[in-house]
Amino acid sequence: MKAIVVDDSRSMRAIISKQLRDLGFEVQEAQSGQEALARLHENKKTDLVLLDWNMPDMDGFEVLSLIRSEPAHKEVRVMMVTTESEMSQVAVALEAGANEYLMKPFDREALVEKLILLGMDPSSRTL
């Protein structure tokens, strides 16, 4: 399975990407919303986007809205990964089309739990 990790923090991208690679994902990284959208357009077979909420220029909510506005990306699962912990923010993201929401900081177990909820259980299939 293929994933794109979107975060303006290089270290956060590296941490999340390593966890996903260790779980068998093929991972691309993007440091901005524009870069994420470009990667998504280049790679039509993307299964999962892990999207930071707080980024300069284009925040995660804007990126999510643009992903969901394109019929070609309707099957892509989007997980918001952020420090935003207010329930109102969670509701906004889910209403806009996010499939899951993961709070930073998180550990591998929390990531795996969310992947299972998305139907992407790394232990049950060959990714």
- Is it the case that residue 126 has pLDDT exceeding 80? no
SS3 9: coil
Q: What pLDDT, in 10s, does the model give residues 44-102?
A: 799 999 999 989 889 999 999 999 999 999 899 999 998 867 778 888 889 999 999 99
Question: Is the pTM above the cut of 0.85?
Answer: yes
**Tokens (6 digits) for 25:** 């994902």
- Is it the case that residue 122 has pLDDT exceeding 90? no
Q: What pLDDT, in 10s, does the model give residues 22-31?
A: 999 999 999 9
Phi, psi (degrees; rounded to nearest 5) at 26 = -90, 125
pLDDT value at residue 1 = 93
Phi-psi region of 119 (alpha: psi -120 to 50; beta: other; left: phi over 0): left
- Is it the case that residue 127 has pLDDT exceeding 70? no
The domains located in the chain, with CATH, are 2-117 (3.40.50.2300)
Q: Do 80 and 98 form a contact (C-beta atoms < 8 A)?
A: yes
- Is it the case that residue 7 has pLDDT exceeding 50? yes
Q: State the angle between helix axes of 33-42 and 60-68 in degrees (0 to 180), rounded to the nearest 10.
A: 30
Q: What percent of the chain has pLDDT over 70?
A: 97
**Tokens (6 digits) for 74:** 């309707």
